[in-house]
Structure 1
């Protein structure tokens, strides 16, 4: 089996969730209820994140970008982990419910990656509007799973082959469905509780040094 890595961005590659950080800084009161509804799954991730970004004016574009670039912290060991994947020809995909305008500049120096799948921002109107180029596929409809925004299981199905050993790395609600498809889950934060609830085997991590140890053991045993 050939390893293939699918890694979340916010709260996984970065030490904090950039969307949460952004909303708490610019529109804390208005976004709090939306965030609670997303976590409670009373609204879809897609609808919730769209509503959050619509709270922001496009006139704030440069301020928003600069804030995120100044405050985001890449999780320890990420560079070494990516280098190991490159040196062992392990495809490394980033799949995120985050947005292109902050993801791409933050990870540019670590690339290239096999693919970066995320949502995209439209700054042409009065409010920031999100576009969702990676929507759910027919398989999602079969299991009545919709509204992901950037649908991680659909991306996984599109790029994997039968001989791939799927490694999913994540932390939150947007990684739940991807974890169900994984052969190995590396989890932190909310994803740990969800894996335990669904009885999905996982390995916990805090840094990418932890992830590297697990993958090395898998590859080199």
Structure 2
């Protein structure tokens, strides 16, 4: 039986040109955030710990200006609407699997025809003195990375014997998912990591390249 293709697409630095969390931190520059990023990258703390700690540097009273900045300064990567059109035309399920935060992920995706239950991201609360990040999609028993929003947990819900699992991503949050996927589209840090680990991948800079590669593969499989 032919497997059903399903796409798991990162958001920050993939659907958007820039990493929105990093952009927020660079713009508002709360003291200590660069040290937290370094500790995430050298894996001395988990992604969940690091992202939570970075946003905890902000008083909740700054919610409106942070939300406004993140939405007004994000740019969608070229070719994204066309990729969604292609997926819809060919019955390919498309999921957004994001380590980003709800207050910018949902508004930026609102113009596009993606069902809310196909969008996975972290939550946020502004009820306390500082911004608190919430984690509605934690790691299952098979993941020990403490991802926060665990992409591999979601991918495992689609068994490899029934689905061709396609990952599109760019960063540290996509490393583990790339090990599970049957097809990887990579750029930036993910591309380097795939090279290091010997994981086959297709490089991309715009979603036009992703759509073209999917179309070519579909024709070759007939």
Common topology (TM > 0.5): yes
1:66-215 alignment runs, 5 A limit: 66-113=68-115, 115-140=118-143, 145-160=144-159, 162-215=161-214
1:4-49 CA distance string (max 9 Å, x none): 0000000000000000000011125421111111111111011000
Q: Distance in 2 between matches of 1:197 and 1:28?
A: 33
Shift of 1:192: 0.7
1:70-94 CA distance string (max 9 Å, x none): 1000001011111111111110000
Q: Distance in 2 between matches of 1:53 and 1:170?
A: 23
More helix by share: 1
1:83-141 CA distance string (max 9 Å, x none): 1111111100000110111000101111224611110001111111011011111112x
Q: Distance in 1 between matches of 2:133 and 2:26?
A: 19
* TM-score scaled by length of structure 1: 0.95
* TM-score scaled by length of structure 2: 0.94
Unpaired stretches in structure 2, ≥5 consecutive residues = none
1:177-196 CA distance string (max 9 Å, x none): 00000000000000011101
The answer to whether the aligner puts 1:50 opposite 2:62 as a matched pair is no
Matched-pair contact (CA < 8 Å) for 1:27–1:55 = no
Equivalent position to 2:9, from 2, 7, 10: 7
Q: CA RMSD in A?
A: 1.2
Q: Distance in 2 between matches of 1:15 and 1:28?
A: 23
Q: What SS does structure 1 have at the residue aligned with 2:156?
A: helix
Q: What SS does structure 1 have at the residue aligned with 2:50?
A: helix
Query: Number of residues paired by the alignment?
Result: 217
Q: What SS does structure 2 have at the residue aligned with 1:3?
A: strand
Q: What SS does structure 1 have at the residue aligned with 2:185?
A: strand
- Cross-structure match for 1:16: 18
